[in-house]
Every structure is written in C-alpha cells, then in structure tokens.
Amino acid sequence: MKNLLLLFLLVISANCFSQNYKITYLKSSNGNLIENQDAVWVFANNNQTLLSTENIRNQKADFPFEETIVDRSSNSFFQKATLKSSEIIATKDSVSLGKQTFEYTNDTKKVLGYNCKKAKTIVNSNTIEFWYTDELKVKGSPTVLGQNLGLVLEMVRNGNFVISATKIEQIKSFPIFQLPQKQVDALTYKDLLWKSRFTTISVFKDQILNFSDESKSNDSILRFANGTIAVRKVQLPEIKVGSQIFVDVTEQSNGDAYDRTGSLFMIPTDKEISFLNGLQNGAKTLPIYTNGNGKEYQGVIITDNYNPVVELMRFFTPFGVKQYNTLQLKDKTWAENVLYRQDVSDLRSLLSGKEVWLGINIGNYDKGGHKVSANITIHTENESIIKPTQIIPLFCTNNIMEMAGQEYGTMFNNDKGLEVSFKLEKPMKNCKLRYITSGHGGWENGDEFVPKKNSIYLNDKETFSFTPWRQDCGSYRLSNPASGNFPNGLSSSDYSRSNWCPGTVTNPIFIDLGDLEAGTHLMQIKIPQGLPEGGSFSSWNVSGVLIGEQ
C-alpha cells in the first residue's frame, strides 16, 4: 500500500507541476524499418518515466506484456507484467540504475530538431550508443538502460539495430500506472514472465523406469516391459504452422550405472493395430517383418493396418549420473542430472490439437533404474512462410519393448536389410525422410565402436548414404561418474561411437527425396552389420518418418 500511495502522489504531483511528454519510438534493423511492429511509447516528466507500447496502452497487446515505471526521486524502477493467465505481478529494482556506467564522447547531432550528445556502453559484449538531449528538461529512454543520461532519442546496438524517436508530443496528464498487490523478487519475476511466453505441457514427472515385477500402472500412467516403459495419453492444443515445438527430458540414475538407449515416442493409433496393442498383449501380436535371415521382427515397419512408433527424441543415458556421484576424481565435479532438449517442430501435424499416446523408455535390467521427467513446450510464431505438412511413419527398429521380448534390430546382416513398402493416396511435394540412426554392439569389434555406412534406397535407387559417427563423446565426461577408466588414460564415455555418446541426444538427419507421385513406393535401409562374436552381436536402431507437402 505504501508503494501504491507513493506512485499516486507522484502522478498527482507530476500532473500539477511539470510538463508531460509522450515519445514514440520505432525499431530498424540493418537500415530497414521492422514491419508490423508495436511502437514503443515513453512518457516522461520531471518525476518519472513510463515505458510502454502502443498496443499495451490501446489494450491490444498479446499476453504476456510488461511496463516499467522509473521513480526519479529514489532512482529506482518498478516492472509490472501481465501474464498469459491474466495474473499481474510486479517487482522493484533499487540498484540497477545506479550501477550503469557510460563513456561520454564529444560527438553531437540533431534528432527531431533537438541537439543530442553521445554516450556509449558495453553490455554482454554488445556496444550500445545513446543519443540524448537535455533541451526538454526530462529524462527517459526506450529501455531501462540509459534512463539517467537525459532524454534518449536514439539507441544503436552494434551499429545495425536502432531504436529511434519518431515523434515527441506534449500531453496534458501522465498516464495512470497502478501496481498490483502481488510483488515478487526480481528472479521470480523474470522466471514467471519467461514461462508465460510459451506453453508447457508436463508429460512425465519424476517417473521411475526400472526393471521390477513391482512396477504397476495407475489411473494416468501405464507401465510395461517390467517397468522400463511408461505411457500416458496427453491432450495437445492447436499449434500454429511455423511455431516452434520442443521436447525436453531430464534424467538421473536411480541405481543403474550403465549407458542405456532411451526414447521419447508417440504411438499412432489411426489404424486397426497400434504399438499400444503390443504393449498390452505382447510383442508377438504386432505385425511381423522378415527378410530371410531367419528372425522375426515385431512392429518395426508400416503395414496396411499398422503404423510404427514415431520417435520424438532418442537419447542415451550416461554412466550413473547423480547415483554414482560419490565416485570421486580429482578436479571433476559431476553433473546432478542430464537435460536433453530437442526441436521437434517438423512433427507439428502429428501433435497439433490431438489427444495422443506418448511414451518414454530406457532399456535396463536394474531394479533402481532411472528417474526421468519430460515436457513439451510450444513457442507460438504469429507469422510463417512454412507450409503445412503430411507425415507418414515408416519404420522404427529401436526395440523399445526389449525387456518384453521385442527383437533387436539385427536385420541388416544380409543384402536386403530393412525393406519398407508404403502407398501414397495423393502426390507429395518436397518430401524428406526424418532419419534417426545409432549403432550398437558394445565390444571392441561391435558396431557401436566401428563406423558403418548407412545407405538409403528409394524405388531401387540409392538416394543418400553417410557414415554416422560421434567424435565428441569426451565432452560429456562430467555426466559419467561411473564410466570405466582404462590403462591408456581414456574413460569408456570418451570413446567415439556410431552416432551417439553417453549423455546425449541423437539428432535426426533430413534426407531430401524430392516430389513423390501417388502410388506404391519401396524404401530400403542397408548397413553392413558386423558379425557376432560368441554371445555378443551388433544391431542398429533406425527410425524414419516421411514428411512432405500435399
């Protein structure tokens, strides 16, 4: 109440004894005025300065938005934010203005007919120049920075981004600025404002993925494969074309010390059979793929009545992060967890406005297993040149049901490899294959440690080939406390691998396929899979979805 009374008295005093100005600013980049921008409005008099925008003051601003008022008598400012939820919060800063430092130059020029002097400062390696005038006897700036210089009429950042005053008007009264009851510290204010700028959907929270007969489902989360898989149904909002969609997973060891394959995935349910049927009734109930090598692979390719899972993110756990942080090495401070975060905007049409089954798994045989949390965040873009797409899941050999008997991806041990037939009802333009691949076989001659070329064929023609290989695994040593150390001075987590490292995401690559006509098409994935040795064998987890414009 004391702050509210102070501001009320300031407004009365300002309106009675000083001149009030409204300054309009517009932004330019590289000499070009930014289109469709919300003009910055600054109101200034002897006692205070209000930073706002045209849309805010005309009640047309999108949520969240914020305003700032500077109290000249105390050299402090209040920031007020109206969040997406319509909640209003505020914070006070009594320190920052006094800490600003500037280099003053002898340069002068006129802006809107007023004589201006130049000052500059450096913030986060950005050089910012200010052109300010003392002729109006008021102070203000289009940002919190530079508030005490004078009236800043132009700001230039790094020589290419400019905020310039385009109009100065004398007004009768200073706008009303009312503080809300809820005032928070500066860090909380920034956090709440930042989180209000996007939509967060919590998918899993502190979920244990372990191997135990005691793992049980509940009303919201289904558990399968002795607890190594968790699945739940999630309602997603409509997502504008061009918006950014991210998934994030946070992982800690809850007992398991080894590096494991993990996947955050979506289960398509638009056909007669889905992967959910296999989870509930056993892997053998899924469509079987064979290629003549004598093995049966459950649920790995598209059929007339089945779509395979779509991997949103494939990730790999490190060696024992958190649980084994007590294993000390000199000059090593272990991470508390691993955060995996990935852009999945290309999968928008599978997610937007739909109720979908989302799952997460980490293959392991440990009763403690791993603790994971997963979120989807949606960051809306108002304008986009991106065209809507159609998505067709084609294949996924990642044996997510490993602990429930699903066969490993060992079908690459003959010339046929993985063969997928799919039918397009209509032509698709600008088609791409979203392809994720990682090689496994964790002994000296296994494909985990031996580079192998992946070749993609479309309609009997080789379309693309590359050798997936990660050489940066040593960058993640601090997430791998339980990684074994060898006589040569390397740790197991340092070694290069077939497109993955302990503690990282394996990113998809996008393979251009051009325009595809309506009808049936044949895709093959060929990899020279290594031979088994004793009880050890190699396998490849590959997944792919077709993305194209209708």
**What's the CATH number where 436 sits?**
2.60.120.1570
DSSP 368: S
Residue pair 420/291 in contact by the 8 Å Cβ criterion: no
At 208 the pLDDT is 97
Please state, rounded to an integer, the average pLDDT across all residues of the chain: 95
**Residue range of the domain that includes 394:** 198-549
- Domain end, chosen from 126, 161, 192, is at 192
Q: How far apart are CA 230 and CA 216, in angstroms?
A: 10
Q: How many domains does the chain have?
A: 2
- Specify whether 463 is located in the same domain as 317: yes
pLDDT in tens, 323-336: 999 999 999 999 99
Q: How far apart are CA 228 and CA 400, in angstroms?
A: 9
Q: How far is CA 134 from CA 46, 76, 108, in A?
A: 12, 21, 12
- Specify whether 249 is located in the same domain as 153: no
- Specify whether 154 is located in the same domain as 226: no
Residue pair 504/476 in contact by the 8 Å Cβ criterion: yes
- Specify whether 208 is located in the same domain as 125: no
- Specify whether 334 is located in the same domain as 448: yes
Cβ count within 10 A of residue 345: 17
CATH number, position 139: 2.50.20
Q: How far apart are CA 498 and CA 409, in angstroms?
A: 14
Residues of the chain with confidence (pLDDT) below 70: 1-17, 383
- Specify whether 470 is located in the same domain as 326: yes
Q: How far apart are CA 399 and CA 283, in angstroms?
A: 10
At 8 the pLDDT is 44
At 385 the pLDDT is 79
- Specify whether 261 is located in the same domain as 318: yes
Tokens read off for 211: 């191997």
